[in-house]
């Protein structure tokens, strides 16, 4: 298996029928879907910039444009939903959810409010500060 071969043939067989078709379109036919999809997967797996994609996937602009098109037209959503449904039907997904009720408190200086806008306690200093703010002095 080469470094740039991302999907096995069995994985591609599950995805290929969900790819958009160029039948009936009077423009240039799409570049090979598998090459483009593997380029997108490779990019997200390695975390590299689009411009740093290996040339074996084709021009990076093509990979980015197709990824953007598939994101906006719902192709990625359809693929995700179908693969989830297949995995769920095969019993490969455990739907147990763990909820964490941790509370993180911020320090009083972590706010972006000024001191006068913050709610203050009922100490003598707080009362005098509020009184001074009301009278302007």
Convert the pLDDT of each residue in 63-97 to its tens digit.
999 999 999 999 999 999 999 999 999 999 888 88
Instruction: With respect to residue 22, please indicate whether it lies within any of the assigned structural domains.
Output: yes
Give the chain's domain count. Answer: 1
Instruction: With respect to residue 65, please indicate whether it lies within any of the assigned structural domains.
Output: yes
As a whole-number percent, the residues of the chain with pLDDT over 90 amount to 48
pTM more than 0.85:
no
Number of helical H runs and strand E runs in the chain: 5, 0
Domain that holds residue 45: 9-89
Q: Which helix (H) or strand (E) covers residue 64, if one does? A: helix 60-73
Instruction: With respect to residue 124, please indicate whether it lies within any of the assigned structural domains.
Output: no
Instruction: With respect to residue 44, please indicate whether it lies within any of the assigned structural domains.
Output: yes
């Amino acid at each position: 298996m080469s470094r740039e071969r991302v999907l096995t043939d069995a994985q591609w067989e599950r995805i290929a029928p969900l790819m958009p078709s160029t039948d009936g379109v009077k423009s240039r036919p799409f570049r090979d879907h598998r090459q483009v999809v593997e380029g997108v997967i490779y990019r997200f797996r390695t975390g590299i910039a689009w411009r740093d994609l290996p040339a074996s996937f084709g021009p990076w602009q093509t990979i980015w444009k197709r990824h953007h098109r598939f994101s906006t037209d719902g192709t990625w959503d359809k693929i995700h939903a179908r693969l989830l449904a297949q995995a769920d039907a095969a019993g490969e997904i455990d739907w147990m959810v763990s909820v964490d009720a941790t509370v993180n408190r911020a320090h009083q200086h972590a706010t972006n409010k000024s001191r006068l806008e913050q709610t203050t306690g009922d100490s003598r200093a707080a009362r005098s500060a509020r009184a001074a703010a009301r009278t302007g002095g």
